Amino acid sequence: MSESLEKLQNRILSDAKHKADETIKDSQAKSQQILEEARRRAQRESEEIIAKANVEAESIRRSILSSKVRVNRLRILDEKNRIVENIIHSVEDRLSSISKSERFEETAQRFVTEAVKAVDTDQPVVRIGFRDVSKRSLDGIARVLPKGGKLVVDEKPIDDLGGVVATDPEGRVVFNNTFKSRLERLDNQLLTLISSTVFGE
């Protein structure tokens, strides 16, 4: 009986050790899986972070660059505007001193003719005023007026730069043919002409 009891005891202990070994082996295998999974997860997360960083980096680069490009485009536009405005000021100076030019009379007559035609009346009232022009030097202008027309000579240039304004007798129809009005009417053509001449655009 003692011998079989010992065998039984050994068997019980042997089973327990076997079970213990299995438990440890299982835990080691599970550990291995946990580590592999952790490495895979870390790798995946790292790749995601790097991918996002690359997108963010490109966005930062574009943002810095596009704001710089925008600023520089504005600088270029400002400079072009400055140049064009400077030229327009010179044009205004040249126009306002047209009375010194030998083309003055011909030009003034043409402006009057255009204005009279525009108001389309037999009795136009034409105001004329240029810088440094005396009433006497405008005598020739009266010739281009219709018989019923009236010429009013301003001492000062009309609209600062000078020109002609025609109305019907009631003052209801007005045609402004001053240099300032012509500059405004021809604004687009003027800018195109100056840009193409200076910048070749």
Residues 17-76 that bind another protein (CB under 8 A): 17, 19-21, 23-24, 26-28, 30-31, 34-35, 37-39, 41-43, 45-46, 49-50, 52-54, 56-58, 60-65, 68-69, 72, 75-76
**Does position 91 bind another protein by CB under 8 A?**
yes
CB of 75 to another protein, least distance (A): 6
How far apart (Å, rounded) are the C-alpha atoms in residues 61 and 55?
10
173 contacts 167 by C-beta, under 8 angstroms: yes
Which amino acid, one-letter code, is at 199?
Answer: F
The stretch among 86-94, 129-137, 148-156, 168-176 that binds another protein (CB under 8 A) is 86-94
CB of 177 to another protein, least distance (A): 11
CB of 54 to another protein, least distance (A): 6
Closest residue by Cα to residue 125 from 170, 175, 168: 168
Scanning residues 101 to 160, which ones bind another protein (CB under 8 A)?
A: 103, 107
Beta bridge pairs of residue 128: 153, 164
Closest residue by Cα to residue 158 from 116, 125, 128, 113: 128
Which residue, 126 or 161, is less far from another protein as judged by CB?
161
How far apart (Å, rounded) are the C-alpha atoms in residues 181 and 17?
110
The stretch among 120-128, 142-150, 166-174, 181-189 that binds another protein (CB under 8 A) is 181-189
112 contacts 166 by C-beta, under 8 angstroms: yes
